[in-house]
Amino acid sequence: MRNLNRRKFLKGSAAAAGIGLCAPSLPSMLTGAAATSAVKPKLSQFDYAQVTLLEGPMLDQFNRNHKFFLALDEDGLLKPFRERAGLPAPGPVMGGWYNDSPDYDPPKNMTGYIAGHSFGQYLSGLARAYAVTGDKPTQEKVQRLVKGFSATVTEKFYQDYPLPAYTFDKTNMGLLDAYAFAADPMALPVLRHATDAVLPHLPAGPQTRVEACAVPHKNISYCWDETYTLPENFYIAWLRSGDPRYRKLAERFLQDKDYFTPLSEGENILPGLHAYSHVNALCSAIQAYLVDGSAMHLRAAQNGFDFVRTTQSFATGGWGPDESFRKPGSGEMGESLVRTHSSFETPCGAYGHFKIARYLMRITGDSRYGDSMESVLYNTILGAKPILPDGTSFYYADYNNSATKFYHQDKWPCCSGTFPQITADYGISGYFSAPDGVYVNLYVPSRLSWKQNGTRCTLVQNTQYPYNPEITLRLQMDKPESFAIYLRVPVWAGPGTHLAVNGKSTSIALRPGTFVPVRQNWKNGDRLEFTIDRPVRLSPVDPQHPNLVAVLHGPLALFAVGDVPSDLNRTQLLATTQRGVDDWQVPASAQGLKMLPYPAITNQTYRLYLPVTT
């Protein structure tokens, strides 16, 4: 109970107990947590409404997902819950992973895998989209879905259910977001019932897959539950509701013995583990640090994410071929280029990557986390194919030596759940707030509005980065105000990186791999012009395959389309030049080798890692 604000706690617990239920107004829900954390991070996240994406590929992807999920049939979404509760269940069968099916036969046939698994994620994506846009029909849909769901909550739902923790974790987050971002007064009471319903079906503590499999089970999928991701959202439930039960549940499922303790001691125990869920689990360690001040859990999250970035990642920033972490020094990353087409679980992986990177960025202020986010952004998720009306979804990015972009065979998979969440999170990933100013983390067309020392400020960012090196930031302010604008200088930035303020070059040292503060008394109309020198560089797939290299231009990984010559050398690849907005060429032969960034690839066969002779 340390650091718990008693007044807020009493208010929260009364609501959780169903006493004097009332609908708090949105502003108090957005700003006032029911309980407080032990640790206040160095940087804060802006509210969703404070960042507006401007015209560009991120806004397009966000709008497309928002529109898609806003149009989803509500009876269809509620059908698996109503069926399991024995209620009338009208509406369409969505199919794929989403509805129970007699065809389910894992791992051969995954139709009917996890009934209703992504309901909470669709709810969360819509609640966040409402927070971004203020679109009333979106809020109303969130509230109707929570109401419809509330009538189905029973512990019968989890009978004969292979992954109760997995689905409940998503439901938990969806209801928490409906409460915090869509002002739904029902969401917390419904969460209390939903928690009662799942508890009889959860194990006593966190289980590894090996431990889950040691329990007698009906089929293999009972070994795949993800109890170890539960604490993050249980801690958030405690923070938002003040109900101490959630904090106890968070502590109960922290996977210390098998995961966080060895990671905190610097042991790279990732190899062999399921990739996305274990990156997601690092967010549970972060919440244990923020809520309880546990330094061990912070070290675990920092080390774990460093191991992912430095020992498990491709040049794109993606990781985990076949959804599995690999042994450093084994050469398996390189071997995966011929063995699999399932190279990076893109929407889920990008969502988890952004979430842990945002947490670590807020705690440390270290620009490396921003560098890794922009890599994942431009090289993976922005190139994801759109979800189709029948639930056909993009899942794996393909880095095979003969690769294509393809949809997953099963409809409504996990990646259909994280896709609307990450696109709603684009805005809040772009900027962070500090007491002395703002951090510009991503260079994306956007507008940030905030108050600095009581002065209303707006920062408008225009850019086509990383396709063009120039970024312009303009200030709109009621009156002059002194503060710092921190610019992320990517670790790979070249010596030509340049900053001008109101048309004059500055003498500020733009050291790569840092946030550089630009401090002054800012006035309405002030302008920063930041140009990031983007050197071409090469990155081998792993130390065992030094002659298989990817070409990078700034943060962009480039993919060869067309026939790859067998006699390429490093000098030729380093001479790769940009010919158009999103078109590059290696001057390797008479006609040259065409290179494209991931978002520009459509139906071509492509190759990320190219063989070099010298």
Measured in degrees and rounded to the nearest 5, phi and psi for residue 569 equal -130, 170
What gap in Å lies between CA 150 and CA 457, rounded to an integer?
42
Q: Judged by CB, which is closer to Zn ion: 345, or 425?
A: 345
Cite the beta strand spans of 339-445 per DSSP E: 344-345, 396-397, 431-434, 437-440
Which residue bears the tokens 């060869």? Answer: 560
Question: Considering the complex, what minimum distance in angstroms separates the CB of residue 417 from Zn ion?
Answer: 7
Question: Considering the complex, what minimum distance in angstroms separates the CB of residue 325 from Zn ion?
Answer: 16
DSSP string, 259-286: IIHHHHTT----TTSBHHHHHHHHHHHH
Measured in degrees and rounded to the nearest 5, phi and psi for residue 389 equal -55, -30
Strand 481-489 to strand 437-440: parallel, antiparallel, or no bridges (unpaired)? parallel
Q: Judged by CB, which is closer to Zn ion: 397, or 403?
A: 397
* 21 neighbors 15 (Cβ within 8 angstroms): yes
Q: Judged by CB, which is closer to Zn ion: 226, or 371?
A: 226
Burial group, residue 521, by CB count within 10 angstroms (0-12, 13-18, 19+): exposed
Q: Judged by CB, which is closer to Zn ion: 380, or 461?
A: 380
Q: Judged by CB, which is closer to Zn ion: 98, or 238?
A: 98
Which residue bears the tokens 């806004």? Answer: 59
Question: Considering the complex, what minimum distance in angstroms separates the CB of residue 114 from Zn ion?
Answer: 12
Q: Judged by CB, which is closer to Zn ion: 395, or 450?
A: 395
* Nearest Cα residue to 203 out of 184, 182, 186, 226: 226
* 456 neighbors 478 (Cβ within 8 angstroms): yes
What gap in Å lies between CA 203 and CA 163, rounded to an integer?
11
Q: Judged by CB, which is closer to Zn ion: 414, or 560?
A: 414
Radius of gyration of the chain from Cα atoms?
24
Question: Considering the complex, what minimum distance in angstroms separates the CB of residue 323 from Zn ion?
Answer: 8
Question: Considering the complex, what minimum distance in angstroms separates the CB of residue 96 from Zn ion?
Answer: 13
Half-sphere exposure of 374 (CA within 13 A, CB side): 23
Question: Considering the complex, what minimum distance in angstroms separates the CB of residue 396 from Zn ion?
Answer: 9
* 597 neighbors 557 (Cβ within 8 angstroms): yes
Tokens at residue 602, please?
A: 């459509």
Question: Considering the complex, what minimum distance in angstroms separates the CB of residue 276 from Zn ion?
Answer: 6
Q: Judged by CB, which is closer to Zn ion: 274, or 368?
A: 274
What gap in Å lies between CA 202 and CA 188, rounded to an integer?
20
Question: Considering the complex, what minimum distance in angstroms separates the CB of residue 270 from Zn ion?
Answer: 18
What gap in Å lies between CA 429 and CA 440, rounded to an integer?
9
The count of other CB atoms within 10 Å of the CB of residue 103 is 10
Binding residues for Zn ion, per CB under 5 A? 345, 348, 414-415
What gap in Å lies between CA 28 and CA 499, rounded to an integer?
40
DSSP string, 539-595: EES-TT-TTEEEEEETTEEEEEESPPPTT--HHHHHT-EEEETTEEEE--SSS-EEE
Which residue bears the tokens 């086509």? Answer: 464
Question: Considering the complex, what minimum distance in angstroms separates the CB of residue 229 from Zn ion?
Answer: 13
Q: Judged by CB, which is closer to Zn ion: 348, or 448?
A: 348
The amino acid sitting at 68 is F
Q: Judged by CB, which is closer to Zn ion: 226, or 542?
A: 226
Question: Considering the complex, what minimum distance in angstroms separates the CB of residue 590 from Zn ion?
Answer: 43
Counting every residue, how long is the chain? 614
Q: Judged by CB, which is closer to Zn ion: 83, or 410?
A: 410
Measured in degrees and rounded to the nearest 5, phi and psi for residue 311 equal -120, -5
Q: Judged by CB, which is closer to Zn ion: 276, or 432?
A: 276
Q: Judged by CB, which is closer to Zn ion: 164, or 413?
A: 413
Question: Considering the complex, what minimum distance in angstroms separates the CB of residue 349 from Zn ion?
Answer: 7
DSSP string, 217-261: -SSGGGG---GGGHHHHHHHHHHHH--HHHHHHHHHT--IIIIIH
Question: Considering the complex, what minimum distance in angstroms separates the CB of residue 108 from Zn ion?
Answer: 19
Question: Considering the complex, what minimum distance in angstroms separates the CB of residue 252 from Zn ion?
Answer: 26
Question: Considering the complex, what minimum distance in angstroms separates the CB of residue 408 from Zn ion?
Answer: 9
* 326 neighbors 339 (Cβ within 8 angstroms): no
Q: Judged by CB, which is closer to Zn ion: 175, or 414?
A: 414
* 180 neighbors 30 (Cβ within 8 angstroms): yes
